[in-house]
Amino acid sequence: MLEDMKPKRKGVDWRTATSALAAASAPIVASAEATDDSTAFNEEHKTVISSTAMRAPAHQTNALESDGSLQFWWFDYDEPAPGTVRLVGKVRVKNEQTRVAQIKDGKKVEKDVPKFVSATVVVKTIKRKLYVLPKTKAEYYGGEVDEDDSDDEDDELPFDDVEGDFLDDAKGKWNLKNVSSTQGYVKRRYAFGIKGVPRKETNWLEVTCDFPAGKRGESDIPIDAGGEQYSHVFGSTATAFERFVVDHKIMGPCWLNISKPKVNKGDAFSWTKFEAEVDEKDISPFSSSDATAPKDVPRLTVLSLSSRTVVHLKENKREIVCAAARVWHDVDIDDPTPVEHQGSSSKVFVRNLFTDFPTGFDQQVRQHQGSPTFALFKAERPLLIQLLDYISRNDPDVIVGHDFSQLDLDVLLNRLRELKIDNWSRVGRFRVKGDKWPQLRSGWNTGLLAGRLLLDLTSDGSKSLIDSTTWSLTEMCETHLGIAREDVDPEDTAKFFDNVHSTAAHLKHFVLQCEADTYFQMAVAAKVQALPLTRQLTNLAGNSWNRTLAGNRAERNEYILLHRFHETGYIVPDKISSREKKAQIDKAEKKKKKKTRDDNGEEEPKVEVKREKYKGGLVFEPEKGLWDRYVLVMDYNSLYPSIIQEFDIDFSTIDWTADDAEDLDKMPDRAPCDGEPQGILPQLIASLVARRRIVKGLMKDKSATVAKLMQYDITQKALKLTANSMYGCLGYEGSRFYARPLAALTTFKGREILTRTKADAEGMSLNVIYGDTDSVMINTNQTDYAAALKIGEDFKKVINDKYKKLEIDRDAVFERMLLLNKKKYAARKVEDDGKGGPGEVTTEIKGLDMKRREFSKLSKDASKDVLDMILSAKATETVIEEIHEYLSDLGEKIRNGFKPLDDYIIHKRLGKNPEDYPDAKSLPHVQVALKMKAKGLSAKAGDVIPYIFCVPPNGETTKTAQAANAHHPDDVRRQGSTLKIDFEVYLSTQVLPPIERLCEHIEGTEKARLAECLGLDALRFKSTSLDVPEREFKTLQSQISDAQRFADAEPFRIRCRTCGTISPFDGILENKAGMLSEHGFFCGNIECQASLPTPSLAVQLDLQLRGFISRFYEAWLVCDEPTCGNRTRMMSVYGKKCLVSGCRGAMHFEYSDAKLYDQLLYIDTLFDIERAIGKVAGGAQQGPVQTRIEANRHVLEQLRRVVTKHLEKNGRRWVSMESLFSFMKVR
SS (H, E, C) 279-306: EHHHEEECCCCCCCCCCCCCCEEEEEEE
Most confident of 1-10, 284-293, 641-650: 641-650
Residue 1030 confidence (pLDDT) = 38
Please tell me which residue, 835 or 350, carries the higher pLDDT value. 350
Whether the predicted pLDDT of 556 surpasses 70: yes
Whether the predicted pLDDT of 1055 surpasses 70: yes
Contact 131, 204 (CB under 8 A): yes
In tens, the pLDDT along 152-211 reads: 556 788 999 999 999 999 998 888 999 999 889 999 999 987 888 998 899 999 999 999
150-154 own/partner pairs: CB under 8 Å, 24+ apart: 150/198, 150/200, 150/202, 151/198, 151/200, 151/201, 151/202, 151/203, 153/203
Fold annotation for 857-1031: Topoisomerase I; Chain A, domain 4 (1.10.132)
CA 186/CA 156 separation, integer angstroms: 13
Spatial neighbors of 724 by CB under 8 A, at least 6 apart, are 638, 640, 641
Please tell me which residue, 603 or 1095, carries the higher pLDDT value. 1095
Please tell me which residue, 998 or 589, carries the higher pLDDT value. 998
Q: Residue 608 gets which letter from DSSP?
A: P
Q: What is the mean pLDDT of the chain?
A: 85
Residue 1035 confidence (pLDDT) = 47
Instruction: Indicate the domain borders of the chain.
Output: 12-44+307-527, 625-847, 857-1031, 1048-1116+1151-1217
CA 1149/CA 853 separation, integer angstroms: 27
CA 948/CA 981 separation, integer angstroms: 7
- Give kind and range of the element (H or E) at residue 783: none
Whether the predicted pLDDT of 151 surpasses 60: no
Q: Residue 70 gets which letter from DSSP?
A: E
Return the CATH superfamily for domain 12-44+307-527: Ribonuclease H-like superfamily/Ribonuclease H (3.30.420.10)
* Mean pLDDT across 371-400: 94
Confidence of residue 801 (pLDDT cuts 50, 70, 90): very high
Confidence of residue 251 (pLDDT cuts 50, 70, 90): very high
Residue 594 confidence (pLDDT) = 64
Residue 857 confidence (pLDDT) = 93
CA 1164/CA 1204 separation, integer angstroms: 7
Fold annotation for 1048-1116+1151-1217: Hypothetical protein af0941 (1.10.3200)
Question: b/e for 533-552, b at 16 or more Cβ within 10 A?
Answer: bbbbbbbbbbbbbbbbbbbb
Confidence of residue 603 (pLDDT cuts 50, 70, 90): low
In tens, the pLDDT along 341-357 reads: 888 899 999 999 888 99
Min mean pLDDT across 517-526, 634-643, 648-657, 1093-1102 is at 648-657
Confidence of residue 48 (pLDDT cuts 50, 70, 90): very low
Whether the predicted pLDDT of 528 surpasses 60: yes
Compute the Cα dihedral for 551, 552, 553, 559 and give only its sign. negative
Min mean pLDDT across 420-434, 523-537, 652-666, 930-944 is at 652-666
Please choose, from the candidates 1094, 1060, 1079, the residue with its C-alpha nearest in 3D space to the C-alpha of residue 1187. 1079
CATH architecture of 625-847: Alpha-Beta Complex (3.90)
In tens, the pLDDT along 901-933 reads: 999 999 999 988 999 888 788 889 999 999 988
Residue 620 confidence (pLDDT) = 93
CA 1024/CA 1122 separation, integer angstroms: 11
* Mean pLDDT across 516-542: 95
* Mean pLDDT across 427-439: 89
Residue 128: strand pairing partners: 209
As a whole number of angstroms, the longest Cα–Cα distance in the chain is 120
User: What angle do helix axes 857-871 and 876-895 make, rounded to 10 degrees?
Assistant: 160
Residue 837 confidence (pLDDT) = 87
CA 70/CA 120 separation, integer angstroms: 12
Contact 796, 810 (CB under 8 A): yes
CA 337/CA 174 separation, integer angstroms: 57
Residue 375: strand pairing partners: 349
Residue 33 confidence (pLDDT) = 35
Spatial neighbors of 424 by CB under 8 A, at least 6 apart, are 388, 413, 416, 417, 432, 435, 437
How far are the Cα atoms of 1182, 1209, 1213, 1224, 1225 from residue 1217, in angstroms, in the given order? 39, 18, 13, 11, 13
Angle CA(128)–CA(132)–CA(135) in degrees, nearest 5? 170
CA 567/CA 955 separation, integer angstroms: 72
Beta-strand relationship, 944-949 and 906-909 = antiparallel
In tens, the pLDDT along 678-733 reads: 889 999 999 999 999 999 889 988 888 888 889 899 999 999 999 988 888 888 88
Spatial neighbors of 841 by CB under 8 A, at least 6 apart, are 815, 828, 829, 830, 831
Confidence of residue 28 (pLDDT cuts 50, 70, 90): very low
CA 1025/CA 1132 separation, integer angstroms: 25
Cis-peptide, bond into residue 1051, ω within 30° of zero: no
